[in-house]
Amino acid sequence: MNSSMLRRRSRVAGLASAAMLLAGCGSDNNASAAGSDNGAQASGSSACVSGTLNGEGSSAQKNAIDQVIADYIAGCAGTTVNYNPTGSGAGISQFIAGQVDWAGSDSALKDEPKDGVVETQAAAKRCDNNPAWNIPMVVGPIAIAYNLPGVDSLTLTPEVAAKIFKGQIATWDDPAIAAVNKGVQLPSTPIKVFFRSDESGTTENFTKYLNAAAGSVWTDEPSKTWPGTGEGREKSAGVSEGVKGTEGGITYVEWSYAKDNGLGVAKVNNGAGAVELTGESVGKAVEAAKKAGKGNDLKLDLDYATQAKGAYPVLLVTYEIVCSKGGIDADTTKLLKSFLTFFASPEQQQKLEDIGYAPLPSPLESEVNTAIQAIS
């Protein structure tokens, strides 16, 4: 690299950018690039609601919400919606601290005290003593993604998955794996597990699944830090790249990352036959969930051990945590309602399947809509 050339180029670039900054001629208008999605908002609500809305939390819903925001603000120059995917815990604590208008979280607000603080109470305080609601919005399937050249189809039962992620099965041609994969030629490659080194809602939900569906093998309590075997990499990108670069690698990761990296995705057999990961099969598992909240608080109790036919049970639901009343000013409330309504609309939900999420099943969707309209 010729450093004088670089220097000259940098000088030009630096001067150019400095000149532009001084002139303040930057543009937020990317309409031409955003494509033909313009006017999507018109289907949800008739006009733009202007203002700024700030959210923070789960990184599992990042791609979904980025897509929805892009569609929502298309053609609305006065509307800004920001979402920071810093993590569910950060989202909830920023929401409670009044730093953001709503939070995205992979687990609902907790009722039981932790360090003397009850999340639901703290959130209610932030909402001028009105309860905060958990509104399920994004269904994110967790893929069990693997890298085994030559193996296009792999089925795992909860027990086998738990043993793999516990380190009790060391190679791919282990009889336990072969027993549930009749007719598949398995190599003798050693199994290399990758896990999330950062605290994560994905880890929490995946360990919930293993604990619920294979409790005899997976005895650890569900937690945001990984209790199993393997090598920890940072964030979803880190684990999926780890698997991509390691033959015999396996991890649990949001579906979209498995898709984007071209990784194999295992079918799961909870007892009623092998189920492939699709938007539909995930929707069935969400339908099997019980409602745990009261009224418009739509906290769900997912049944990870479900044996419903054709249901893919390894998933997480990202809730949008909002004040049922108060907490934010009237204009922002209006914007929040408009945005969430748009988010929950069937057209938007359907679009999410292309990028690795599952749409909300329709019974739940109507409940979600009722809850959003009840925000005041």
Partner 1 sequence: MTALDTAVADPLSQHLGRGRAVRNRVAAVAMYAAFALAVVPLAWILFSVLSKGFSAIVDAQWWTNSQRGITIRTPGGGAYHAMAGTLIQAAITTLISVPIALLTAVYLVEYGRGGRFAKAISFMVDILTGIPSIVAALFIYALWVTTAGFGRTGLSVSFALVLLMIPVVTRSTEEMLRIVPSELREASYALGVPKWKTILRVVIPTAWSGIITGVMLGVARVMGETAPLLILGPYTSSINMNPFRGNMAALPTMINQNRTESLSLAVERTWGAALTLILLVLALTLAARWLSRFSAVRG
Partner 2 sequence: MTQMSPPPPGRPDAADGAAGDGTDVVVPDGVTAMDTPARQVPARQAPPRPVPRLAPDASGQRSRPPTGRGDGPDARRPLDLSSGAGRWGDRIFSGLSSGAGWFVIVLVTLVGGFLLWKAVPALAGNNAHFFFDRVWSPGGNTPAFGIPDLLYTTVLASVLAMALAVPVAIGIALFTTQYAPRRLARTVAATVDLLAAVPSIIYGLWGIAVLAPILGAPDSWVRNTIESTLGWIPLFSATGISAGNVFVGGVVLAIMILPIVAAISREVFDKTPVAHKEGAYALGATRWEMIRTAVLPFGRPGVISASMLGLGRALGETIAITIILSKPNSTDPFDLSVFFGGETFASKIANNASEFDSPSKTGAYIAAGLVLFVLTFAVNAIARIIINRRKEFVE
Binding site for partner 1 (CB under 8 A): 1, 3, 6-7, 9-11, 13-18, 20-21, 24-35, 52, 54, 56, 59, 63, 66-67, 69-70, 73-74, 80, 82, 84, 86, 97, 99, 235-238, 240-241, 257, 260-261, 355
Look-up of token digits 């309409």: 31
Rounded Cα–Cα distance for residues 214 and 165 (Å): 12
The region of 47-55, 133-141, 181-189, 230-238 touching partner 2 under the rule CB under 8 A is 230-238
Look-up of token digits 């008739």: 46
Q: Output 199 or 365, the one with its CB closest to partner 2.
A: 199
192 binds partner 2 per the rule CB under 8 A: yes
- Site for partner 2, residues 31 to 60, rule: CB under 8 A: none
Tell the smallest beta-carbon distance from residue 136 to partner 1 (Å): 22
225 binds partner 2 per the rule CB under 8 A: yes
Write the single-letter amino acid at 232. G
Binding partner of residue 115 among partner 1, partner 2, none, CB under 5 to 8 Å per kind?
A: partner 2
Radius of gyration of the chain from its Cα atoms, rounded to whole angstroms: 23
266 binds partner 2 per the rule CB under 8 A: no
90 binds partner 2 per the rule CB under 8 A: yes
Binding partner of residue 74 among partner 2, partner 1, none, CB under 5 to 8 Å per kind?
A: partner 1
Reduced to 3 states, what is the DSSP secondary structure of residue 4?
helix
Tell the smallest beta-carbon distance from residue 6 to partner 2 (Å): 9
Rounded Cα–Cα distance for residues 352 and 357 (Å): 5
Reduced to 3 states, what is the DSSP secondary structure of residue 54?
strand
- 317 φ/ψ sector (left φ>0, alpha ψ -120 to 50, else beta): beta
Among 158, 228, 313, 356, binds partner 2 (CB under 8 A): 228
* String marking each residue 109-128 x if it binds partner 2 according to CB under 8 A: -----xx-x-----------
Q: Output 172 or 257, the one with its CB closest to partner 1.
A: 257
Taking the CA atoms of residue 119, residue 124, residue 127 and residue 129 in that order, the dihedral angle to the nearest 10 degrees is -160
Give 265's contacts (C-beta < 8 A, 6+ positions apart): 143, 144, 145, 146, 255, 258, 277
Cβ atoms 281, 315 nearer than 8 A = no
Write the single-letter amino acid at 135. I
Among 231, 260, 276, 367, binds partner 2 (CB under 8 A): 231
Among 102, 146, 172, 195, binds partner 2 (CB under 8 A): 195
Tell the smallest beta-carbon distance from residue 166 to partner 1 (Å): 27
Among 45, 67, 80, 86, binds partner 2 (CB under 8 A): 86
Tell the smallest beta-carbon distance from residue 157 to partner 1 (Å): 29
Tell the smallest beta-carbon distance from residue 222 to partner 2 (Å): 12
Nearest CA to 328 out of 57, 102, 147 is that of 102
Cβ atoms 362, 139 nearer than 8 A = no
- Site for partner 2, residues 274 to 303, rule: CB under 8 A: none
Nearest CA to 43 out of 24, 68, 77, 22 is that of 68
Q: Which two tokens mark 184?
A: 């598949």
The angle, 0 to 180 degrees and rounded to 10, between the axes of the packed helices 158-166 and 201-213 is: 120
Residues at the contact surface with partner 2, assessed by CB under 8 A: 3, 86-90, 92-93, 114-115, 117, 167, 192, 195, 197-199, 224-234, 242, 245-246
